[in-house]
Amino acid sequence: MGGRSEDPDKAAGLYEWAADGGDVNAQTQLGIIYLAGRGVERDEQLAFQWFLKAADCEAPVVTAWAHMVVMYEQGIGTGKDDTKAQQFLDRIMDSKYYTAGALHMIG
C-alpha cells in the first residue's frame, strides 16, 4: 500500500538490492532490519557492518552515525570502543544535519 511492502522478507530483499548498489539510506535501513530481525534472521554483526558502510560514505548519514555511537558504546555487533563511539558522536555534533531523534537514540 502506498508503495511500501507489507512483506518484511520482500522489503529486506529490496533494501539489500539497493544497499549493494551503494544507496546509503538503504544501507542504514538494512542495518536497522538486521538489528531488529525483521524479514531476516537477527544479526548484530551484519547490522554493524551495514551501519559502518553507510557511516563511512561522504554524505552525512546521521542515523547511521547514531547507530554507530550506540553499537560502539554497548559493544553490539562489535567490540566495545568508547573512542570510536566518541568519534561518531563528534561527527553528529559537528554536522548541521543532526536531529532530536538521533540525539534521543544515543541518549
pLDDT in tens, 35-58: 999 999 999 999 999 999 999 987
Query: In the structure, what pLDDT confidence band is assigned to residue 7 with cuts at 50, 70 and 90?
Result: confident
pTM of the predicted structure, to 2 decimals: 0.84
How confident is the prediction for the chain on average, in pLDDT?
A: 87
pLDDT in tens, 56-67: 987 778 889 999
User: E strands within the chain?
Assistant: none
Nearest to 31 by CA among 58, 64, 75: 64
Query: What does the alpha-carbon distance between residue 47 and residue 77 come to, in Å, rounded to a whole number?
Result: 7
Query: In the structure, what pLDDT confidence band is assigned to residue 93 with cuts at 50, 70 and 90?
Result: confident
pLDDT of residue 107: 59
